[in-house]
Structure 1
Amino acid sequence: MDHDFISKKELLELTGISYGQLYRWKRKSLIPEDWFIRRATFTGQETFFPKEQILARIDKIIHMKDDLSLDELADMFSPNLAGSMIKLEDLTKQNIVSKSALDLFVQHFGTAEAYPFQHILYAYMVERLLVTGEMSLDEGKGLMQVLESHYPHFQGKPCELIFVRKMGISAFALASSASELYFDHSVKVVSRLSVASCLEELKAKLT
Structure 2
Amino acid sequence: MERDLISKKELLDEKGISYGQLYRWKRKQLIPEEWFIRKSTFTGQETFFPKDLILARIDKIMNMKDDLSLDELAGKLSPLLPDYEMRKIDLMKRNIVSSVVLQRFASGDSDKVVYSFEFLLYFYVVDKLLQAGEMSMEEGEQLLQTMREHFPKFNGKPCDLVFIRKMGVSSFALISVPAEFYFESGVKLIARLSVTECIEQLKGKLV
**Normalising by the residue count of structure 1, what TM-score does the alignment of the two structures yield?**
0.93
Residues of 2 paired with 1:24 and 1:105: CA distance? 42
Q: How far off its partner does 1:90 sit?
A: 3.8
Q: Which residue of 2 aligns with 1:28?
A: 28
Q: Structure 1 residues 104 and 3, CA, compared in 2 at 3 Å: closer, same or farther?
A: closer
- The answer to whether the Cα contact below 8 Å between 1:104 and 1:140 also exists between their aligned partners in 2 is no
Secondary structure of the corresponding residue to residue 161 of structure 1 = strand
Give the Cα–Cα distance (whole angstroms) in 2 for the partners of residues 77 and 144 of structure 1.
Answer: 24
User: Is 1:43 aligned to residue 43 of structure 2?
Assistant: yes
Aligned partners of 1:163 and 1:171 also within 8 Å: yes
The residue identity in structure 2 corresponding to 1:162 is V
Matches within 5 A, 1:126-145: 126-145=126-145
Amino acid at match of 1:35: W
Q: Which has the higher contact order (CA 8 A, sep 6+)?
A: 2
Q: Is the 8 A contact 1:79 1:196 kept in 2?
A: yes
On the 8 A contact 2:161/2:173 being kept in 1, the answer is yes
1:79–1:198 Cα change, 3 Å: same
CA shift at 1:82, angstroms? 4.8
User: Aligned-pair distance for 1:59?
Assistant: 0.1
Distance 1:7 1:73 in 2: 24
Mapped contact 1:87–1:114 kept (Cα < 8 A): yes
Q: Structure 2 counterpart of 1:105, which letter?
A: F
Report matched runs for 1:71-86 at 5 Å: 71-86=71-86
Identify unmatched segments of 5+ residues in structure 2.
none
Match of 1:147 in 2: 147
Structure 2 counterpart of 1:57: 57
Aligned residues: 205
Distance 1:185 1:41 in 2: 30
Kept after mapping to 2: 8 A contact 1:38/1:47: yes
Cα RMSD after superposing both structures = 1.6
Partner amino acid, structure 2, of 1:193: L
CA distance, structure 2, for counterparts of residue 117 and residue 41 of structure 1:
42
The 8 Å contact of residues 3 and 50 in structure 2, kept in 1 or not, is answered as no
Q: Percent identical across equivalent pairs? A: 59
Contact 2:3 2:179 in 1 (8 A): no
Deviations 1:19-58 (A, max 9, x none): 1111111011100001011111111111111111000000
Does 2:158 correspond to 1:169?
no
2-side partners of 1:195 and 1:28: how far apart?
20
Question: What letter corresponds to residue 43 of structure 1 in structure 2?
Answer: T
Q: Is the 8 A contact 1:134 1:190 kept in 2?
A: yes
SS of the residue 1:183 aligns to: coil
Deviates more, 1:176-185 or 1:6-15: 176-185
Report deviation, 1:66: 1.4
Unaligned runs of 5+ in 1: none
Structure 1 CA distance, aligned partners of 2:103 and 2:140?
11
